[in-house]
Structures are given as C-alpha cells and as structure tokens.
Amino acid sequence: MRGESCTGKTRTAFEAIRVCLKDWQLVFPKNARRLLALLDANVLAPRTVLWLNEAQIFLTGTDAEEVTAALHSRLEQTGPVVILGTLWPEYHRTLTATPEPGKDAHPNARALLNQVKPVDVPASFTTTALRTSLVHCDRSLATAVSTSTGGRITQTLAAGPQLVDHYQQAASHSPYGHAVITTAMDARRLGHISPLPAALLKAAAPGYLTEQQRAAADPDTCFAQALDYARERVRGVVAALEPVANPDGMGALPDIYRLSDYLDHHARTIRRYAFPPESFWTAARDHAASAADLEALAEAADRRGHYRMAAALYQRAADAGGMGALVELAWRRGRAGDLDGAEQLYQRAIEAGDMGALVELAQLRQRAGDLDGAEPLAQRAADAGDTGPLVELAWRRGEAGDLDGAERVAQRAANTGNINALVRLAWRLEEAGDLEGAERVAQRAADIGGREALIRLARLRKRGH
C-alpha cells in the first residue's frame, strides 16, 4: 500500500484483510530484528498475513539487505502467504531507483520491490466519494468532510493540521518546545530513521534558539518542559513526539521518542532547504548510535559542504560497524594522499567481507603506480564477479609499455567473460604498428564473442592484406 502520511494506508490494508482474509493468521513484527528472527526460524505458516507497517523500517538500515533476502526466500516457499506492507512514495522511489555504478546500497530491496505492483492510496477522496450516504452517517467522518480542504479527510481525522499548528504556535509561547520538535524534524529528514534519543534532542535544541531565549531559559527545567509540550496530544489523538514501545516487554523505552509521521512529512516541505545549526551536527555525532543513521547523517552533512563533520560522522558510523562508512573513510584518506591510512581501512572492510572495498583498494594501488600489488587484488575482485579492476590494470600495464603483462592480464579478464581488455589491447597494438600482435589478440577476443572484437579483427585482416 503506497501513499503519503496519514492518507489511510494502514486502514485500507486492515479493511482488505478483514474482508478477504478474515480467517488467516496475522503476524505483526515490530522491528527488523524481530522480523529476521521470525524468517530465520521458518515459522511463517501457510494462510498467514505478514504485516510490515511502515515498511521502510524493515527495508532500510543495517539489517535491511538480510531482511529483504529472507523475505524473497519465504515467497519462494510453500504458501499461501501474504506479505503486506505500507510505504511512502519517496521511500519507494529511493529503494527502486537505478543506482549509480558501484553505489548500490540496497540491491535485495530493489529486487523485491520491483516485483510488486503497488496499490496507491490517494492523498484525498474524490467529491463523489465524499457525497455517499455512508460518509454522512458517521458523525466523525461528516465533521472531517466539512472541515477539510481538497478531500483530505484522513489527515484531519489524524489531527495533522492541528498538530502543525501546535508546532508553529510553540515558536512564540514555548520556544524550547519548538526547538526540540524542530530538532526531531531535521534529524528525520536528514536520515535518522531510528527512534530519537532524548540526549540528542537536548544537546541540539539550544542551537535553534536566539541568544535571548537561551538566556531566559532555566537550565534545570527547560528541557523537561519542552518535552512535555512536544508530547502533548493534540485533540487527544497525536503528539509531535510519541513514545516507543519496549520491543521486549510492556511499557515504553525510556528517553526514546518517535516523531509524528505527519510532522515528518511536513518538515520535508517547510524545512527542505534549511541548514541545521552546528549544535545539531555535534549532537548527532555524539548521540546517534545506529551505523545506518550515522551514515545517512554523514551523507547529509557532505551534501551540504560540512566536510569535517561528515568525516567525523563517517568515523562514528565505521566504529559502530558500518562497512559503507569504512569504505567512504578509506576513499577520503586516499583522496587526501594518505595511501597507507586508506589501505588499512580498505583491508578492514575486506576482512569483514566487503567486496566493494576490494575493488576500491585495487584501484587505489593502480593509481599509486603499484601495478604488481594491484594485480592479486584485481584477480580476487574478478573471482568475486567484478572484472573492472583487471580491465583497468591491463590498460595501465599497456600505458607503462608492459605489453606482455597487459596481454596476460587482459586474457585473465577474458577468461572470466570480459573481453574489453583484449579489444582495447588489440587497438593499442594496432596503433603501435604491431598488426600481427593486434590480430592475435583480436582473434582471442573474437573466439570468446562480441561484435566489436569481430569488427576489429576484420579491419586488421583487411589492413594486413
């Protein structure tokens, strides 16, 4: 079920299950860890609905690729089983977009979602739908129709507009509460998907206040009062900051909060171009704990030209086990000329099983002129399915005048199915006037296959006669 915040995705899904699958079991995991444990135990019986409410919780983050691979595997087993998720359009676009070469962060999630034809839940009801007698038989629906604009009654029912007003009014009569809510809004829109620790909100909020507001605040009570305002339920329905249920028992997790989805969506419009204060970045560095959150915040800092803070966030993410952050730090060290430091970080990532780091290290050594050191790494990368480093190495050996070495490496790339290095070597030999050598290499490429190799071979034979 794909739709914007507060459009009725969850209710639509519920009604569909109630009508069509009323005798089925319903499983409702609260987080990715619980879902993964459920799938690993293989206890999802036939005639079960697996409900992934707010599916981005499961399809993004540290465990996302493992989760999506497990979901894919379950769909290939005995059914019938229904996996039903709700997802915002922006998350769907991000997860299904064609990635840049070498930057595929979620291949399993994309493979899973690309098989899906989403059921879109519109942001508003049509005029015809709102005129039906069923709507006006229910007092709450009738009130929502009369007080909503553009047919957006679900948002009104969820008290979304009133919640926005509650936030905006805080700027004058509860500025610290406004600052705490704004901190949460910035954190979510910049990539902190996990629930927010109170320590992050407290540390960041002062940067959103004026000097006069900070001077007037009582340091012993202002944060508690701000939290009270942020947790105040509007119309008794929804609050800006909601408690987070303890996944292992009853009650809420202490000092952990989740931003209202409606305010999250609102923030992505009104604060789209806003640059958070320095206190936000420092608080994020010191108090965000998830490697996935830290990596996302680091990318956000980097896009905004805050490079020193981006490096600090990447370091924290790497320390928390984020392989993407480790590779990013290695790349930055290499770009800065610290080749030894870059290699150490790449080696850590390789030891942890990151084959992308293997490719990056091979290319780093090539750029540094260490072709002999790059060759075994390029071969390992080819064995893992990426022949790019071998092709580049063959070219660099040719540039260095080592044509025998270039031919050897090109042949190894061809043995794994990539004839590009042989074709490029044939071109180099032809340019050098070695038509016999060029024809020999082009013949090898043509024997493996490829239109370009055949064309090159035909031209060489024409020139030779």
Q: What pLDDT is recorded for position 68?
A: 93
Of 404, 352, 413, residue with least CA distance to 381: 413
pLDDT higher than threshold 60 for residue 457: no
The partner residues of 48 in beta bridges, in order of sequence, read 25, 81
Rounded to the nearest 10 degrees, the angle between the axes of helix 323-335 and helix 339-351 is 160
Please compute the mean of the pLDDT values over residues 288-307 and round it to a whole number.
Answer: 93
The stretch 83-105 carries a mean pLDDT of: 88
Work out whether strand 196-197 and strand 81-85 pair parallel, antiparallel, or are unpaired: unpaired
CA angle 262/265/267 to nearest 5° reads 110
pTM for the complete prediction? Answer: 0.67
Residue 462's pLDDT is 65
Supply the pLDDT for residue 18: 93
DSSP states of 347-363: HHHHHTT-HHHHHHHHH
Distance of CA 308 to the CA centre of its chain: 22
Prior bond of 80 cis (ω within 30°) = yes
Note the pLDDT of residue 460: 59
Q: How far apart (Å, rounded) are the C-alpha atoms in residues 264 and 205? A: 17
Closest CA to 143 of 159, 128, 164: 159
DSSP strands (E only) in 219-322: 241-245, 252-259
Q: Which residues of 32-66 are buried (b: 16+ CB within 10 A; e: fewer)?
A: beebbebbeeeebeeebbbbbbbbbbbbbbbbbbe
Any idea where the domains of the chain sit in the sequence?
Answer: 9-113, 127-157, 163-288, 386-464
Do the beta carbons of residue 190 and residue 296 sit within 8 Å?
yes
Q: Which amino acid is at 190?
A: L
Predicted confidence (pLDDT) per residue in 129-139, tens digit: 898 888 888 88
pLDDT number for residue 52: 95
Q: Are 267 and 190 in contact (CB under 8 A)?
A: no
pLDDT of residue 450: 59
Q: Give the sheet arrangement for strand 252-259, strand by strand.
A: 196-197, 252-259, 241-245
Among candidates 95, 83, 68, 107, which has minimal Cα distance to 1?
Answer: 83
Q: How far is CA 376 from CA 90, 365, 379, in A?
A: 42, 11, 5
Given a cut of 60, whether residue 339 has pLDDT beyond it is yes
Distance between CA 447 and CA 451 in Å, rounded?
11
Q: Which residue has the tokens 């590009």?
A: 420
The rounded radius of gyration (Å) of the Cα atoms in the chain is: 28
Contacts of 288 (CB under 8 A, 6+ apart): 192, 194, 197, 200, 294, 297, 316
329-351: average pLDDT: 78
The CA distance from 190 to 197, in Å, is: 16
Strand partners, 84: 51
Q: pLDDT grade, residue 366 (50/70/90)?
A: confident
Q: Do the beta carbons of residue 63 and residue 32 sit within 8 Å?
A: yes
Residue 465: band (very low, low, confident or very high) from pLDDT cuts 50, 70, 90: very low
Taking all residues of the chain, what is their mean pLDDT, rounded to a whole number?
A: 86
CATH superfamily membership of 386-464: Tetratricopeptide repeat domain (1.25.40.10)
Per-residue pLDDT tens digits for 38-58 = 999 988 899 999 999 999 889
Sign of CA dihedral 365, 367, 371, 375: positive
Secondary structure class of 238 (helix, strand, coil): strand
Beta bridge partners of 256: 197
pLDDT, tens only, 244-284: 988 888 999 999 999 988 888 889 889 999 999 999 999 99
Percent of the chain whose pLDDT exceeds 70: 95
pLDDT at 368: 76
Q: In what order do the strands lie in the sheet with 81-85?
A: 25-27, 48-52, 81-85
Check residue 323 and give its pLDDT.
Answer: 82
Q: H/E element holding 26?
A: strand 25-27
Each residue of 143-159: pLDDT tens digit?
A: 778 777 788 888 777 78
Least confident of 234-238, 402-406, 419-423: 419-423
Name every residue whose Cβ is closer than 8 Å to that of residue 306 and which is 6 or more positions away in sequence.
281
Q: Which residue has the tokens 């970045």?
A: 281
Query: Is 85 in contact with 1 (CB distance < 8 Å)?
Result: yes
Question: Quick one: pLDDT at residue 78?
Answer: 85
CA pair distance 445, 250, nearest whole angstrom: 66
Mean pLDDT, range 166-193, rounded to an integer: 94
Give the DSSP per-residue string, 56-100: HHHHSSTTHHHHHHHHHHHHTSSS-EEEEE-B-HHHHHHHHSPPP
